[in-house]
Amino acid sequence: MNAVYLAQDPTLADFGKDPWWLVLIKVVFAFVIAVLATLLGVWFERRVVARMAVRPGPNQAGPFGLLQTLADGLKMAFKEDILPKASDKIVFFFAPTISVVCAVTALSVVPFGPMVSIFGHQTPLQVTDVPVAVLVLLACSSMGIYGIVLGGWASGSTYPLLGGLRSTAQMISYEVAMGLSIVAVFMTAGTMSTSGIVAAQGDATRLTIFGTEVPAPGWYAILLLPSFIIFFISTVGETNRAPFDLPEAESELVAGYMTEYSSLKFALYMLSEYVAMVTMSAVTTTLFLGGWRAPWPITLWEGANSGWWPLLWFFGKVITLVFVFVWLRGTLPRLRYDQFMRLGWKVLLPINLVWILVLAGLRSIEDWQSRDRLLVTGIGAGILLLATLLWPSRKPKPKLSLQEQATSRPHGSFPLPPMDLQVPPSPRTKRVVAEREPANVSAGSDSREV
């Protein structure tokens, strides 16, 4: 009976009943996960990128170089802490803290596992859950933007200010696409509770095809594939990771909003980036990859989703997504800022809106007869196909000649040389040819030396 209870999914009624010491254990556990994820995440990224570049990577400090990140953290702590004269001292100090606190707070509503027994108390492996837990995640992600823009503004310098403004514009644009991606999850799961979304993915979806029920995967990464792809792209842009790491593009912005930061405050910004990467991987796992539930074929084992085993499946999925983050950094070049913003506003946002309309239409005809559903779906797919084929393409601009390009230049441009300029031969070339000529001419009475 106890094993059956432990295999059950936690509900909202299971929260708020833990003693204070158990709540403290959960909070410390989530904080330790964030800190360890940062230390091991930096080491993991350096090792993986080194492997891709056929380099050894960190391998001297500790076994497999595991203590290298710890050594780097201690080195940052003992570096000189510089405070610019023109900076706003209070905001300059607290801006990195805002980013770290928001990234760590998001882990409080992420379910790490099912109901377990801790010192005789039945409790879910989750700090807390609320009916609008996913909105808490979005709020934490949005508040993290303040740490970046305030850090750039409080530095009292031009380059950090520009980096903070560009970072804010980037993160807000991808926040919209990410929020719309989660709307599809709300519509399908029927709840905004993170534990409820994981429970909704535990039951295999039943599809009726020509009167026959066919079990389909329960993961929303498969059922809601467009939302999953857009959400993951948005998380890469939201966490300022390559190829979208424009806020820290040294070739363009020196070091972005972190230009004036040093020592521990710089370490806090770096900490917030890696915590955000792990947090968004955990959120992606919760919303689209079944959360702590074991993937198939491990689910054939009856005890796969009970006890402490789900922790292993959960962190396995998180590490896999972190590897994808690192893989993108080692593979793709950095985008230009205008390309990046165009991708967010002109590509991801329209596709997301169209996908939500299609999904809402499919949800509204769920109660119809199979024949009517098939007919409406076929008509909609045909209209979409015709619209795609008949959509007017942009006519290519006629290629102008060099003279037309020179004429169409705006007033006040730099002067251009004549388009028909002929470069005369070099005088030295003539002299060299003349010096070599006597060697090929036979000597005679009228010969003269050149």
Read off the pTM. Answer: 0.80
Instruction: Tell me the DSSP string of 272-314.
Output: HHHHHHHHHHHHHHHHHS-TTSPPTTGGGSTTTTSTTHHHHHH
Q: What's the DSSP call for residue 395?
A: P
Tell me what pLDDT residue 244 has.
82
pLDDT tier at 424, thresholds 50, 70, 90: low
Q: Checking DSSP bridges between strand 121-124 and strand 115-118, what pairing results, if any? A: antiparallel
Over residues 284-305, mean pLDDT: 85
* Residue 320 CB neighbours (<10 A): 12
Tell me what pLDDT residue 371 has.
72
Q: How far is CA 392 from CA 368, 389, 395, 397, in A?
A: 35, 8, 9, 15
In angstroms, the CA 34 to CA 420 distance is 66
- Window from 59-63, 111-115, 391-395 with minimum mean pLDDT: 391-395
Mapped onto helix, strand or coil, the DSSP state of residue 347 is helix
The amino acid at residue 71 is A
Tell me what pLDDT residue 231 has.
93
Mean pLDDT of the chain: 81
The pLDDT tens digits for 156-210 are 888 888 888 888 888 788 888 888 899 989 888 888 899 889 988 886 666 565 5
Please determine, for residue 229, whether its predicted confidence score (pLDDT) is greater than 90.
yes
Tell me what pLDDT residue 216 has.
64
Nearest residue to 186 via CA among 344, 353, 360, 367: 360
Tell me what pLDDT residue 2 has.
43
The pLDDT tens digits for 72-130 are 888 888 888 888 888 888 888 888 888 888 888 888 899 998 888 888 888 888 998 88
The amino acid at residue 27 is V
Q: How far apart are the first and last CA of the chain?
A: 114
Please determine, for residue 420, whether its predicted confidence score (pLDDT) is greater than 70.
no
Q: What are phi and psi of 206, to 5 degrees?
A: -100, 120
Percent helix, strand and coil across the chain, each to the nearest 5 = 65, 5, 30
- Residue located via tokens 């300022």: 240
Most confident of 170-179, 349-358, 433-442: 349-358
Contact between 306 and 239 (Cβ < 8 Å): no
Tell me what pLDDT residue 4 has.
43
In angstroms, the CA 277 to CA 319 distance is 11
In angstroms, the CA 171 to CA 173 distance is 5
Please determine, for residue 214, whether its predicted confidence score (pLDDT) is greater than 70.
no
- To 5 degrees, how large is the angle CA 93–CA 162–CA 167? 75
Tell me what pLDDT residue 3 has.
43
